[in-house]
């Protein structure tokens, strides 16, 4: 079994506040790591350290070499003046992904008829779906999702649940932060309570 | 030697080192500055050209020397902070900027006071004056940038980048003003002709210079101590220190 | 997997120019501001004052500098706020390619229009046409990218700060002193019938130096914004 993501003795903090201390885990294909905790407990900070945006205070993060990952942050990375399609096209170019996956991904997320609308005209839930549609455009084995459920309606939750289920049955692994219970059938979920 | 440096770079051992060094350095600074100023202002002979006005060099020269030395020090600390991410170097940037800015301002003011009787004007667009002024702006930029950040580490790294870019800029500014001045100022070329100095004029100057370096050293050490205490206020060594003091 | 920097560069450049087409009015403001500053300066002087022509290079340069500052504050801010920057920094493409493209886009959108406007404004101030005007414009052609690069570095330093608007000019303007000196120096030399080659070469050297050092520093400053 390959380990997709592991942390050893990981300590992270903001300023001089220690948020997470001595965290160990190893994520194998099929695993879901569910990070829970109150607001400000360090869920987003932990994900930002795991993707390499910020350095940890101490300890190590190891991602399996050569394997790209997907990070959906709590911000959607959509420019308000560009259309949905333009936003995703540019993201594809910057990530070295062919753009022919965009149309089916938007279809699946129920955004196909909105693709030529400027992102500023979309609702919060629609923007969230657009951010999540990137998971389908490029298939990557490791997903790191920061509050993916926020703003999604029932239908959106169902689609996300399906996506996550397909991902873990197809040898993928997921790290996800959420206050809510995760949607979809997920066979192996480890919960870490922060704070 | 190397391990000694390494040990010193940890905040608690630097703090105790500074605590021991600072009083001695301060005593030296007071003696050297006192000697320099008293001997320079009263006992040194009058300059045969400039009269008593030359005596301002006992303040002006040390201030000008330190304005550049401290910026150089800050830029070196900036490189160390960015490359090796040593916390003490980050602290040094924050601590050196206000000290450097004060000496730069002092150099500018004394230079202007000196310029009035010597050149007949408080301000001349001379390369040294202008680059000193730009240097002051750079110092103030670093101080302003440092104050604007909430997170201390982010502030230190931003200041480090600015200090490095500024360090490249200072010689360019000096050169550009020299070039600019030589282009259009043909009527009144002002020369900073270095008067050959006698020993009884020079010795107090060396005293004042050494004293000023020591004074800058003391105030940099004390500032670094304060910044360290603030930044590390949750660390155990600070708590132990405070408990010790309270007892 | 890694993406060549050129791919990041072209993708970002296309994106920036496309965003600019959705905000046409915004990019008209710096040239308009430039024209107003120069006009007001002329109005403040005595009508037909020959000194106006002598001060023209300085006025044009300072006007261009202030006009370029107007749009700097927002150079990286929107991208930081909507989460685009962090995606680029985490992604496989070199962030430096993105930064260079944004700096080039800033110059194309706010530096180049100033350059086009500078000729009529210079003539309006009584600056001699012909060769001196050519030197003035050549200086601006090399100086306006410097405004974008140096300004972009300062914008990157202050991107995470809520009130960067006041701090930004204080950081940028001292760094630009040599640019103003050499830029208007070249124009004045040409005006006086001297050889403006020297300052022009210095400007070129400054441009090369800044283009090698500052995009790296700006990228490091942006990365710092995530802490």
pLDDT in tens, C110-127: 899 999 999 999 888 888
Report the residue from C163, C170, C182 with minimal CB separation from B141: C170
Strand partners, C123: none
Quote the CA–CA distance of C168 and B239 in Å, as a whole number.
Answer: 38
Please report all neighbours of C, defined by 3+ CB atom pairs within 8 A: A, B
Quote the CA–CA distance of C84 and C71 in Å, as a whole number.
Answer: 19
Residues of C in contact with B145 (CB under 8 A): 157-158, 167, 171
pLDDT of B233 higher than 60: yes
Residues of B in contact with A58 (CB under 8 A): none
Q: Which of C4, C87, C91, C93 is the mutation pick for testing A, counting most A CBs within 10 A? A: C87
Q: Per-residue DSSP letters for B171-231?
A: HHHHHHHHHHHHHH--S-----------HHHHHHHHHHHHHHHHHHHHHHHHHHHHHHHHH
pLDDT tens for B86-130 read: 889 999 999 999 999 999 999 999 988 888 887 777 887 777 788
ipTM of the complex: 0.89
Q: Which of A14, A19, A92, A94 is the mutation pick for testing C, counting most C CBs within 10 A? A: A94
Is B157 near chain C, with CB under 8 Å? yes
For residues B52-62, b (16+ Cβ closer than 10 Å) or e, as one string? eebbbbbbbbb
Kindly report the nearest CA distance between residue C227 and chain A, in angstroms.
6
Is A48 near chain C, with CB under 8 Å? yes
According to the model, what pLDDT value does residue C98 have?
94
pLDDT band at B187 (very low <50, low <70, confident <90, very high): very low
Least confident interval from A158-172, B37-51, B227-241, C167-181: B37-51
Is A16 near chain B, with CB under 8 Å? yes
CB contact under 8 A, B137 and C173: yes
Quote the CA–CA distance of B153 and B145 in Å, as a whole number.
Answer: 12
Q: At B236, which helix (H) or strand (E)?
A: helix B236-246
pLDDT tens for C82-111 read: 999 999 998 888 899 999 999 999 999 989
Query: Mean pLDDT, to the nearest integer, of C35-54?
Result: 85
Q: Which of A14, A15, A48 is the mutation pick for testing B, counting most B CBs within 10 A? A: A15
| pTM to 2 decimal places | 0.88
Residues of C in contact with B177 (CB under 8 A): 181
Kindly report the nearest CA distance between residue C22 and chain B, in angstroms.
32
Kindly report the nearest CA distance between residue C120 and chain B, in angstroms.
26
pLDDT tens for B195-218 read: 556 677 778 888 889 999 999 999
Q: Which of C177, C179, C200 is the mutation pick for testing B, counting most B CBs within 10 A? A: C177
Nearest to A82 by CA among C25, C16, C87: C16
Quote the CA–CA distance of A126 and C120 in Å, as a whole number.
Answer: 49
pLDDT of B2 higher than 90: no
Please report all neighbours of A, defined by 3+ CB atom pairs within 8 A: B, C
Is C15 near chain A, with CB under 8 Å? yes
According to the model, what pLDDT value does residue C203 have?
92
pLDDT of B5 higher than 80: no
Structural tokens at position A165:
């289920």
Q: What is the DSSP letter of A83?
A: B
Quote the CA–CA distance of C8 and C6 in Å, as a whole number.
Answer: 5
Strand partners, A23: A10
pLDDT of C218 higher than 90: yes
pLDDT of B137 higher than 80: yes
Q: What is the DSSP letter of B126?
A: -
Q: Which long-range contacts (CB under 8 A, 24 or more apart) does B194-199 make?
A: B195/B47, B195/B49, B195/B50, B195/B54, B198/B45
pLDDT tens for A102-127 read: 999 999 998 989 989 999 999 999 99
pLDDT of C9 higher than 80: yes
Kindly report the nearest CA distance between residue C175 and chain B, in angstroms.
7
Q: How many CB pairs under 8 A join A and C?
A: 78
CB contact under 8 A, A94 and C89: no
According to the model, what pLDDT value does residue B46 have?
72
Strand partners, A118: A83
pLDDT tens for A51-78 read: 988 888 888 998 876 667 889 988 999 9
pLDDT of B16 higher than 70: yes
């Amino acid at each position: 079994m390959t380990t997709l993501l592991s942390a050893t003795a990981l300590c992270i903090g903001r300023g001089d506040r220690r948020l997470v201390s001595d965290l160990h885990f190893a994520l194998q294909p099929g695993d879901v790591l569910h990070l829970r905790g109150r607001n400000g407990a360090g869920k987003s900070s932990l994900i930002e350290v795991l993707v390499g945006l910020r350095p940890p205070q101490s300890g190590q993060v190891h991602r399996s070499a050569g394997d790209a990952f997907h990070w959906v942050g709590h911000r959607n990375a959509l420019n308000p003046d560009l259309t949905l399609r333009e936003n995703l096209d540019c993201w594809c170019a910057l990530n070295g992904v062919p753009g022919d996956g965009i149309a089916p991904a938007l279809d699946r997320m129920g955004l196909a008829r909105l693709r030529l609308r400027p992102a500023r005209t979309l609702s919060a839930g629609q923007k969230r779906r657009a951010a999540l549609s990137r998971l389908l455009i490029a298939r990557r084995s490791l997903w790191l999702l920061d509050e993916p459920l926020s703003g999604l309606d029932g239908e959106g939750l169902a689609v996300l649940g399906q996506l996550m289920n397909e991902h873990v049955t197809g040898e993928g692994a997921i790290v996800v932060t959420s206050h809510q219970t995760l949607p979809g059938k997920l066979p192996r979920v480890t919960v870490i309570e922060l704070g | 030697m190397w391990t000694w440096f390494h040990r010193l770079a940890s905040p608690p051992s630097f703090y105790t080192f500074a605590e021991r060094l600072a009083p001695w350095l301060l005593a030296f600074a007071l003696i050297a500055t006192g000697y320099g100023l008293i001997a320079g202002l009263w006992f040194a002979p009058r300059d045969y050209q400039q009269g008593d006005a030359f005596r301002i060099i006992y303040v002006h020269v040390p201030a000008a020397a330190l304005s550049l030395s401290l910026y150089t020090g800050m830029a070196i600390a900036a490189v160390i902070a960015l490359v090796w991410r040593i916390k003490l170097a980050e602290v040094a940037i924050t601590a050196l900027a206000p000290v450097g800015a004060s000496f730069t301002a002092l150099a500018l003011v004394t230079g202007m006071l000196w310029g009035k009787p010597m050149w007949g004007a408080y301000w001349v667009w001379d390369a040294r004056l202008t680059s000193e002024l730009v240097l002051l702006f750079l110092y103030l930029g670093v101080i302003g940038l440092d104050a604007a950040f909430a997170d201390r580490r982010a502030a230190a790294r931003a200041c480090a980048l600015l200090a490095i870019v500024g360090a490249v800029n200072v010689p360019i500014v000096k050169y550009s003003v020299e070039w600019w001045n030589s282009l259009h100022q043909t009527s009144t070329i002002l020369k900073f002709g270095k008067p050959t100095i006698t020993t009884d004029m020079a010795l107090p100057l060396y005293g004042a210079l050494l004293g000023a370096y020591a004074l800058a050293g003391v105030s940099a050490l004390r500032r670094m101590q304060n910044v360290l205490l603030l930044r590390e206020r949750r660390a155990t060594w600070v708590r132990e220190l405070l408990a010790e003091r309270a007892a | 997997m890694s993406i060549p920097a050129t791919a990041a560069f072209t993708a970002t450049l296309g994106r920036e120019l496309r965003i600019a087409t959705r905000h046409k009015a915004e990019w008209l403001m710096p040239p308009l501001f430039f024209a107003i500053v120069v006009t007001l300066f002329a109005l403040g002087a005595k009508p037909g004052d020959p000194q106006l022509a002598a001060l023209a290079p300085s006025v044009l340069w300072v006007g261009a500098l202030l006009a370029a500052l107007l749009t700097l504050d927002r150079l990286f801010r929107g991208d930081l706020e909507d989460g685009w920057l962090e995606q680029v920094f985490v992604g496989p493409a070199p962030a430096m390619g993105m930064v260079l493209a944004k700096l080039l886009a800033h110059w194309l959108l706010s530096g180049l229009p100033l350059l086009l406007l500078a000729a009529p404004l210079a003539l309006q101030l009584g600056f001699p046409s012909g060769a001196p005007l050519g030197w003035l414009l050549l200086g601006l052609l090399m100086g306006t990218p410097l405004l974008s690069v140096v300004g972009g570095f300062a914008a990157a330093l202050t991107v995470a700060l809520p009130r960067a608007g006041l701090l930004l000019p204080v950081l940028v303007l001292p760094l630009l002193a040599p640019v103003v000196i050499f830029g208007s120096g070249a124009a004045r030399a040409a005006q006086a019938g001297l050889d403006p080659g020297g300052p022009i070469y210095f400007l070129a050297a400054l441009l090369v130096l800044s283009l090698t050092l500052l995009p790296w520093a700006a990228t490091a400053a942006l990365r710092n914004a995530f802490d």
